[in-house]
Amino acid sequence: MKNIKIELQYFKGCPNSEKAMDMVRRFVAESELQIDYEEILVETQEDAEKYKFRGSPTILINGKDIEDLEESRTPSLSCRYYQNGLPNNENLNNYINSLLENRKK
């Protein structure tokens, strides 16, 4: 099975970055899946443009946003608002299971 890649994009000073990183780190450590995890610090406007930054923190799973938010046309160093609150372990698990199910089809 192909590895799962989780990428967390953030900038320092975002109040939710640490909480999101702690949650994803715990998820990766406890998961039975092979997961490649990377934290990407977005420090400049150039970085924001390079990563098409959706705001901090952004969680991408195999390159797809956990809430299916499109890449920003006007990326900037900004905090991200999650309508249903910051994603949690259950959200990560559900999204990954959905990806794995779609691979079987």
Residue 16 confidence class, pLDDT cut points 50, 70, 90: very high
Please write the tens of the pLDDT for every residue from 22-42.
Answer: 999 999 999 888 999 999 999
DSSP code of residue 66: T
Write down the pTM of the prediction: 0.90
Question: What was the pLDDT predicted at 14?
Answer: 92
Question: What was the pLDDT predicted at 1?
Answer: 45
Counted domains in the chain = 1
DSSP code of residue 53: -
CATH number at residue 71: 3.40.30.10
Please write the tens of the pLDDT for every residue from 53-80.
Answer: 999 999 999 999 999 999 989 999 999 9
Measured at the alpha carbon of residue 92, what is the angle toward residues 59 and 1, in degrees to the nearest 5? Answer: 100
Structural domain including 37 reads: 4-104
Question: What was the pLDDT predicted at 95?
Answer: 86
Nearest CA to 35 out of 104, 101, 100 is that of 100
d(CA 8, CA 56): 9
Place of tokens 């092979």: 34
